[in-house]
């Protein structure tokens, strides 16, 4: 697991001291209204995790719906940024994670795990590790909404050599990983950002107890 954490941290270093978050903030209103919210409007927002929160542009949207929200990131500087940004909102708790899990969040305590515009860069083994822990923290009937890569043309290469730095992943492989962790895919929408079928947003659910 230590080796996998090192992989996750190496990828995250590409977003240290970058103007990307300021640029992306300009697009979030349009993306939220046109793409994201229609996929999640029927979710339970009681207790939410924003996984790989960055500078919190998605946290800003989610916190107005959530009873409580955890803004989680592997990079401490991003977590400290979110702490400053949301200092006046007691609903927001900011956590540094280890890059492969949601340690620090209790079992079966979360109604929604959300990740947008980050997991597209994650190594497949990191994705699988997160899905395993998402299954742990989700309440029965709780949902995950993950924006991930659907790019399969560079399986052995550096993700930075792929279009828009997409990691190797597919809609089908992501669903396979979900099934291995007892997570049921509700829907999976393939999208593009100028490259056909580049990404996918998958909505999945932890089974309810009988």
CATH of the domain at 197: 3.40.50.150
What confidence tens digit (pLDDT) does each residue in 127-152 have? Answer: 999 999 999 999 999 999 999 999 99
Q: What are the C-alpha distances in Å from 12 to residues 4, 45, 74, 209?
A: 13, 27, 7, 36
Residuewise pLDDT in 10s, the chain (210 residues): 689 999 999 999 999 999 999 999 999 999 999 999 999 999 999 999 999 999 999 999 999 999 999 999 999 999 999 999 999 999 999 999 999 999 999 999 999 999 999 999 999 999 999 999 999 999 999 999 999 999 999 999 999 999 999 999 999 999 999 999 999 999 999 998 889 999 999 999 998 654
Which pTM was predicted?
0.96
DSSP strands (E only) in 77-198: 92-96, 110-115, 138-149, 183-191
Q: Are 124 and 168 in contact (CB under 8 A)?
A: yes
**Residue that the structure tokens 């989610």 belong to:** 62
Q: How many domains does the chain have?
A: 1
d(CA 70, CA 36): 19
Backbone angles phi and psi of 194, in degrees to 5 = 95, -15
What is the span of the domain harbouring residue 171?
Answer: 2-206
Task: Note the pLDDT of residue 1.
Answer: 64
Element (H, E) at 159: none
């Amino acid at each position: 697991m230590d080796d996998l954490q090192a992989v996750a941290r190496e990828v995250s270093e590409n977003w240290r001291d970058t103007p990307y978050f300021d640029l992306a903030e300009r697009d979030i209103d349009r993306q939220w209204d046109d793409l994201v919210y229609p996929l999640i409007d029927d979710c339970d927002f009681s207790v939410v995790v924003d996984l790989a929160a960055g500078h919190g542009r998605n946290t800003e949207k989610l916190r107005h719906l959530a009873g409580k929200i955890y803004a989680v990131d592997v990079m401490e500087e991003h977590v400290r940024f979110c702490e400053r940004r949301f200092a006046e909102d007691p609903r927001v708790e900011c956590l540094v994670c280890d890059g492969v899990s949601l340690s620090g969040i209790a079992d079966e305590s979360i109604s929604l795990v959300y990740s947008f515009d980050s997991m597209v860069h994650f190594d497949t083994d990191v994705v699988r590790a997160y899905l395993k822990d998402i299954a742990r923290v989700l309440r029965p009937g709780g949902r995950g909404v993950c924006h991930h890569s659907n790019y399969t043309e560079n399986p052995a290469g550096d993700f930075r050599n792929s279009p828009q730095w997409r990691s190797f992943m597919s809609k089908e492989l992501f669903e396979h990983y979900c099934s291995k962790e007892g997570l049921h895919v509700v829907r999976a929408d393939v999208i593009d950002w100028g490259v056909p079928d580049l990404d996918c947003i998958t909505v999945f659910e932890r089974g309810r107890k009988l």
